[in-house]
Amino acid sequence: MKHSMLSIKNISPKKVSALSALLIAIPLGITLFFLNTVWWVALLISTVFGLGSFGIIYFFFQHFIYRQIKLIFKLISQTKATKREEFYYQELLPKKSIEDVQAEVEQWAIQKREEIEILKQNEHFRKEFLQNLSHELKTPIFAIQGYTETLLNGAVNNPDVNLRFLQNSSRNIDRLVNLLNDLDEISKLESGSITLSLSSFQMQELVRDVFESLEIKIRKKNIHAFIKKGCEIPKSVVADKEKIRQVLINIIDNAIKYGRENGIIEAGLYTVDDKLVLIEITDDGYGISPDYISRIFERFFRADQTRSRGVGGSGLGLSICKHIIEAHGQSIQVRSKPDIGTTIGFSLPLK
């Protein structure tokens, strides 16, 4: 804001009052002088009038205009003023020019606009979440409905299909159960009501455990899963073991699903700065297109919708992983090249 001595735009109420008082006192003094009043009487009267008008005008400013402004301030903040605000209204606000007050109100408006933007965005996420969710629920439920109706309409007595239809229904029910478990997990993680139960454990052991628990899937695709050469030296971390197990299961399960038949999955473990352990799971599968790579940690996101759908999954796995790793105060990253492979890496504090 420009300030100059002559500018009357930005002057404070006190100066406005003084100026107005002068405008009253000076003509009065001159008039009295020309009406042949003794000069010192004229000066005295005009001084008294000047001071009086200054007092009255200033009083009106304080008690009427600023009372209104104070009211507006209280209204827009919609709260009872705190001690500090009360001091601000009483002492600081009246010293400001109307322009300063306006600037403050504009600042307030900008802040409110930003808050509204965030609310709108959240609303958008909520809508999108519901849309995704109902979409995810639809597919298996409609499938179960179809099989059940067909069975009821007579297929139950057809030995060629009855068992297959029941198996298909059962698979879709499993899919629903998995989805519900994932949703349960993510809502717990997002509400922040999850507490980590930290312990120290050896990372290689856990990786081998998870490879073992996924043995059937790994064999089915004839994948070779192993800990990278040179990464065998035991590394212990401090973390929530069961949650990290879940993270590894999600990442390795993805590596199997989106990996090649007869491919490899390799786990690398590295110490960083004597403080962290970096765990990387690498596959030589389809990879992720650069267009999608920044989005794979989003809820429900699948890079290649159709192909991913073929292998199931809710699209919640990686967002659960991200939540868990971030709850440990660490980060999770991805590197990927289409048709070359994908590496997902995360860090944990070294014991």
Ligand X SMILES: Nc1ncnc2c1ncn2[C@@H]1O[C@H](COP(=O)(O)OP(=O)(O)O)[C@@H](O)[C@H]1O
Footprint on this chain of ligand X (rule: CB under 6 A): 250, 254-255, 258, 283, 285-288, 296, 301-304, 308, 313-319, 342
Nearest distance from C-beta of residue 195 to Mg ion, angstroms: 25
Nearest distance from C-beta of residue 115 to Mg ion, angstroms: 35
| Nearest residue (CB) to Mg ion, 50 versus 317 | 317
| Nearest residue (CB) to Mg ion, 140 versus 313 | 313
As a whole number of angstroms, the distance between CA 314 and CA 299 comes to 9
Q: Which residue type, as a one-letter code, is found at position 124? A: H
The binder of 303, among ligand X, Mg ion, none, by C-beta within 5 to 8 A per type, is ligand X
3-class state of residue 167 by DSSP: helix
CA 32 to chain centre: 73
200-to-9, 157, 185, 240 alpha-carbon distances in Å: 68, 57, 23, 8
As a whole number of angstroms, the distance between CA 25 and CA 22 comes to 5
Nearest distance from C-beta of residue 151 to ligand X, angstroms: 29
| Nearest residue (CB) to Mg ion, 13 versus 317 | 317
CA 163 to chain centre: 47
Nearest distance from C-beta of residue 138 to ligand X, angstroms: 16
The binder of 185, among ligand X, Mg ion, none, by C-beta within 5 to 8 A per type, is none
The binder of 46, among Mg ion, ligand X, none, by C-beta within 5 to 8 A per type, is none
Q: Summarize as ranges the residues that interact with Mg ion (CB under 5 A).
A: 254, 313, 317
Both tokens assigned to 85: 């605000």
Nearest distance from C-beta of residue 278 to Mg ion, angstroms: 21
Nearest distance from C-beta of residue 256 to ligand X, angstroms: 9
Name the residue number minimizing CB distance to ligand X: 313
The binder of 283, among Mg ion, ligand X, none, by C-beta within 5 to 8 A per type, is ligand X
Owner of token pair 């596959």: 283
| Nearest residue (CB) to ligand X, 50 versus 313 | 313
| Nearest residue (CB) to Mg ion, 254 versus 347 | 254
Nearest distance from C-beta of residue 311 to ligand X, angstroms: 7
Both tokens assigned to 117: 């933007």
DSSP codes, 52-115: HHHHHHHHHIIIIIHHHHHHHHHHHHTSPPPHHHHHIIIIIGGGS-HHHHHHHHHHHHHHHHHH
Numbers of helices and strands, H then E, in the chain:
11, 7
Name the residue number minimizing CB distance to Mg ion: 317
- For residue 337, the cross-strand partners are 341
As a whole number of angstroms, the distance between CA 277 and CA 350 comes to 5
The binder of 172, among Mg ion, ligand X, none, by C-beta within 5 to 8 A per type, is none
- For residue 346, the cross-strand partners are 279, 332
The binder of 182, among Mg ion, ligand X, none, by C-beta within 5 to 8 A per type, is none
The binder of 169, among ligand X, Mg ion, none, by C-beta within 5 to 8 A per type, is none
